[in-house]
Amino acid sequence: MPAVIQGFVITTKPKDITLESFPTVDTIPLGTTGAIVYPDLYKGVAISVAILNQDGANACQVSINGSQQFSLAAGSQFNVNDQNVISVRIVAGAAGQVDLVAQVAPQLLTTERARFAFERG
């Protein structure tokens, strides 16, 4: 059953072993605010994301899928696994960048039934 997350119709199931995923790496420069919207940038949904605050002195602010933002301590890492992540918004600290390493699965244009059907039309 598709879900709508932040206006995107999502048919991806994070634990679907038939999906072929690919890695992505994004960097939010120090002292800036940035957002990664996976369907826009990569035509897919992040099913896992590691957020690494490279700032050794300041916390960064993180919001996932438009949720309430939280602080990620200096030099810390936060992982989101087996979820459908549409967007991550980061406010980086003044002394270091924030890196995002994600596993992205392509957006499926059909249902599982249609993908694996033997009948041809």
Question: In this predicted model, what pLDDT tens digit does every residue of 15-39 receive, in sequence order?
Answer: 777 778 999 999 999 999 999 999 9
* pTM listed for this prediction: 0.84
Q: Would 115 be classed as within a structural domain?
A: no
pLDDT, tens only, 58-98: 999 999 999 999 999 999 999 999 999 999 999 999 999 99
CA dist., res. 33 & res. 10, Å (int): 26
The 10 Å Cβ neighbour count of residue 64 is: 20
The total of structural domains in the chain comes to 1
Q: Which domain holds residue 24?
A: 3-110
Q: What is the CATH number of the domain that holds 16?
A: 2.60.120.10
Residue of 83, 4, 1 whose CA lies nearest to 47: 83
pLDDT, tens only, 36-53: 999 999 989 999 999 999
